[in-house]
Structures are given as C-alpha cells and as structure tokens.
Structure 1
Amino acid sequence: MLIPIREDEVMRRSLYVAGVTAGLLGAATLAGATPAAAAASTPQAACGSGYSVLESKTVGYDKSTVSPAARVYLLYNSSNGYNCVVTMHINGYVGFGAQTEAGILVEGGSWKRDKADYSYYAGPVYAYAANKCVKYTGGVEYYAGGIFWDSYTSSFGHCG
C-alpha cells in the first residue's frame, strides 16, 4: 500500500532524500566497509543461531534503480519455538537512514513491533509461537520521485 507523505514530512526528510540519492550511486561499497553491516548481512545473522527463513517479501519500489528498497523476513527456530522478523534494506538503501518497520503477531496476542529510522534493518522482533499461527509485517520509507511508505502484512499462517 503506497501512502504519500505530508508536505511537512517532506521537509523533515530532506537529508534522507540526499542520502538515498547518494546511496543509489555507491552504497554497496560503503555498506561493505562497516562492521555493523557485515555483522548482520543476512536475516539469520540478525536473528541469531538456529533460525531458518520461512518466507520473505519485498517492499518499496525505487523506479530509478528498478529494484525494491527492503525485504521482510519471517524466520523460525524449531529448537526454541520462537519466530523472528527482520526488515532488511537492500540495493541502494543499505547504509542510509529510512523509517523501517518489522513486527509479529501471535494469534491471540498483540503486535510486537520495531519501527524507527534505521540504516540497515529493523528488528529483530521475536515471539514465542510454538503450536500457534503468526502474522508478520514489515515496511520501509523509500524515494520514488517523492518519499513514500510501502509495507507488507501477511495473513495468519505458519501454524505449528
């Protein structure tokens, strides 16, 4: 779902736009140079040992690079019964701050979310979900001739 940002938000985000523009020209080299990016370059590294990816969806579409801005991952650890959600920046958005969200809802519970300005990823967000269904969400603010928000929310699934 695309939601245009208000005019006052556009002013507040002017530095973000400059960062994304620069990122489109060379973020891959910059991201590889920082220890934080290397430490969590995969969703498994962000969530920790024992987590496997169950599903992922892309969010945010940058027309100038014809590529998504982030990917939302749902992971599960069968040894402890926990799910993990991470929304990781990809392509030209790695290393540049953007409002990013990751969240999970266990059936019968309430949402657990992490949403803030991040340069690499939002999350990890954990929830114990053995023998229960989960719903997950993730979103990212991105630039496409203006600043937009795009998100994905799954239906309940991955029960068990």
Structure 2
Amino acid sequence: MHDPVDPDVDLHEPRQRLELRQAPWTTLAAISAGGVSGALARYGIATALPHDAGHFAWATFAVNVAGCLLIGVLMVAITEVWQVHHLVRPFLGVGVLGGFTTFSTYVVDIQASLEAGAPRTALVYLAATLLAALAAVYAGVRLARLLTRSRRAGETR
C-alpha cells in the first residue's frame, strides 16, 4: 500500500477519502488562485521597494520573513484552533503564502550581490534571511498559541 500524499490524511475516515477523490481539480484550483494572489502581493512589494544589485534586498527579505510568520500563525490556526474547509490549507498555505514568499529570488539576490562585488552583503543577506525566517515561523506559532490559549483551554474542559 502506498503512503498518502498528505501525511495527516486518514484513509479510514470517509470524509478524508472523499477529499482525496476530489483533491486533484479542487485542490489545484485553490492553490492556483492563492498563488496568483500571493505572487501579486509580492510583486507589489518588490516594485515598491526596488534594490540595486549588491545592496540588501529588503523587499525579498520582508516578504520571506512575513510569509514565514504567517505560515506559523496559519498552521496553529488550522491544526489546533479551528476546523476549516479542506481547501483552506492548500489555498492559504501552499497558494497564497507559497506565491508570496520567494526563496528562489533570495538565492538570485545572493548571486547578484556576489557578481556585483558585494560578498559581505551577500553573506549578511544569506544569514539574516535564514535566521529571521526560522525565528518568524517560531514567533508565529508562539503568537498564535498565545492569542488562542483561552479558546483552546475552553474546548478541553
């Protein structure tokens, strides 16, 4: 037997079996719609905050850190706080936040800084983005749990 595509899918639960049968088109549509939204938001920020090669890419940095913070909040919200429609995670997590964040541009920005003769900027940008993104996910999870503690405590009583 093959493992399910999504590790949190229980094939013994009828609703989730139905979700898998419907998943290809509805899930792809949700991801696509979310991805368009996220990518447009990222494009708007990159256009508003342009940078020259060799300079710190503040727009990409801000987008990636904000996206990581939001993914931390989202995962707590949809796995610990609310029961949501099965397309919320693909739409918001994979689509919107996947389209919004851009770790491929992060790598291109590092390469552009190196080619522009700014290795120090490239190294600072590389390390700062990595550390800030990881800290942002952690902060998003902690913040969401803190803000929803009373709600979750009320449900366990």
- TM-score between both structures, scaled by the size of structure 2: 0.28
> Whose helix proportion is higher, 1 or 2?
2
- Bigger CA radius of gyration: 2
Higher relative contact order (CA 8 A, sep 6+): 2
> Whose strand proportion is higher, 1 or 2?
1
